[in-house]
Amino acid sequence: MSNPNQLHRDLAQIVGEAGLLPDDQLNRYAIDDVVPKVVALPASTHEVQEVMSYAADSGLSVIPAGNGTKLGVGNPPAQVDLILSTSRLDQVLEYEPADLTVTVEAGIRLAMLQERLAEHGQYLSLDPPYANRCTIGGMTATNASGPSRLRYGSTRDLVLGMRVIQSSGTVVKSGGKVVKNVAGYDLNKLYLGSFGTLGIITEVSLKLQPLPEVERTVLLAFTEIAEAIHVASEIAGSQLLPIFLNLFVNGAPLTEVSEPCLMIGLDGPPETVEWQIDTLNTMVQQNASIGVQLYDGQQQQELRKAMRAFPEDQSTSPIVVCRANLRMTDVESFINTALAVDKSATWRMRAMGLIGNGVVYITFSHFPDDDLPVQHVTDTITSLREAAINVGGNLIIESGPTPLKREIDVWGSVGPSFQLMKAIKTKLDPIGLLNAGRFVGGI
């Protein structure tokens, strides 16, 4: 439909004027410099169905969104007709503290949900970037988890069930509202991490944790990366149960530590946490750590917040964020490859590894004169991607300037599973309505 005014009027009949983002705010949802024709904010599952049916009948492409924090992930869109945001679907639908489960609408922000759960001494053990702004639906669609996945699992492990609206308007329910609920195919896993290409998530049921009695964060500094990874491997193979075990290649945020360092999160009963701290101190004495710092209280909260925010792209200058997914045993060689590549660069490279999970975030920033050298950065990412693939991993570009994303596929090679993924996409979204062309392989 080429007439924006008619499009606005038609959608207003479905969601009301309050359910349409004003034209002067559409830039908030721009994707790679492409501003959407309209942003609809349905307030019910029925309205989501109606918007989807209208889009299908009108031949409009639909890009699902929550609060927009992950919209930049993916290849540049050819056009953006309609963004369907679930941000008005923000209610807690069912909460059973005794069962440690909760069912929420997809648009509720993680921070808002945590406040509600804290009233009952509970929380959702996920700590992704953008924690104050991201929505549960967006986290589920992108499988965003955070460092605490080492101890408590990823979003894939904590989602019990969901309600999804397919491109045809059909409502699909998967899983349930209790921990042991799956018989047959676990359809939750189909939609988790699908980036809105298979349907629009409107409800999610989640598994919760009691709030820990005590939290502590330990920072260990080293002269060499190899020493830090050796200690990290020793910790991972011990009886310790850290919440997270993160390697900072270029020093820790909000500290004066500039050397390679490990940031280790601990929680639980006081005696358990103290035992883990004592065990870490023993390990430090037997290894080559050059410094140990212990954090708690407000200082700890700020440090953990900065750690979670490492991959966030909030700079007004060009910045590129990549994520490599590897085996833990391959993290050291991959980081050394990245550092060797960085020696020829004219920009700043920073790296953080979620050691126990094999995830490495790499950022490129501080380009001379704020001018992104597209070809040089493309060549660097290609080299790093090849290094990841050679050890059985992969590397994606989580965010970057549009000229870079037009030069290199942000997802990289899909591999032999692509035909299966394409067949599932065709089956569930036969007209290619949802997030078309932005996911792996142009799905």
Domain definitions of the chain by residue range: 4-85, 92-210, 214-305, 320-405
**Closest CA relative to residue 125, chosen from 102, 158, 168, 94:** 158
**Is 3.30.1540.20 the CATH number for 320-405?**
no
Beta-carbon-side half-sphere exposure of residue 19 (alpha carbons within 13 Å) = 23
Instruction: Give yes or no on whether 214-305 and 320-405 have one common fold.
Output: yes
174: left (phi over 0), alpha (psi -120 to 50) or beta: beta
* pLDDT (0 to 100) of residue 100: 96
* pLDDT (0 to 100) of residue 147: 93
* pLDDT (0 to 100) of residue 29: 94
Q: Write the pLDDT tens digit of every residue in 158-178.
A: 999 999 999 988 899 988 776
**Is 3.30.43.10 the CATH number for 4-85?**
yes
Topology of domain 214-305, CATH: Alpha-Beta Plaits (3.30.70)
CB-based contacts of 274, cutoff 8 Å, min separation 6? none
* pLDDT (0 to 100) of residue 130: 86
* pLDDT (0 to 100) of residue 24: 93
CB-based contacts of 35, cutoff 8 Å, min separation 6? 26, 27, 29, 80
CATH architecture of 92-210: 2-Layer Sandwich (3.30)
Q: Which two tokens stand for residue 123?
A: 């929380």
* pLDDT (0 to 100) of residue 181: 55
The residues of the chain scoring below 70 in pLDDT are: 1-2, 178-185, 313-315
SS (H, E, C) the chain: CCCHHHHHHHHHHHHCHHHECCHHHHHHHCECCECCCEEECCCCHHHHHHHHHHHHHHCCCEEEECCCCCCCCCCCCCCCCEEEECCCCCCEEEEEHHHCEEEEECCCEHHHHHHHHHCCCEECCCCCCCCCCCEHHHHHHHCCCCCCHHHHCCHHHHEEEEEEECCCCCEEEEECCCCCCCCCCCCHHHHCCCCCCCCEEEEEEEECEECCCEEEEEEEEECCHHHHHHHHHHHHCCCCCCCEEEEECCCCCCCCCCCCEEEEEEEECHHHHHHHHHHHHHHHHHCCEEEEEEECHHHHHHHHHHHHCCCCCCCCCCCEEEEEECCHHHHHHHHHHHHHHHCCCCCEEEEEEEHHHCEEEEEEECCHHHCCCHHHHHHHHHHHHHHHHHCCCEEEEEECCHHHHCCCCCCCCCCCCHHHHHHHHHHHCCCCCECCCCCHHHC
* pLDDT (0 to 100) of residue 1: 52
Q: Write the pLDDT tens digit of every residue in 201-236.
A: 999 999 999 999 999 999 999 999 999 998 999 999
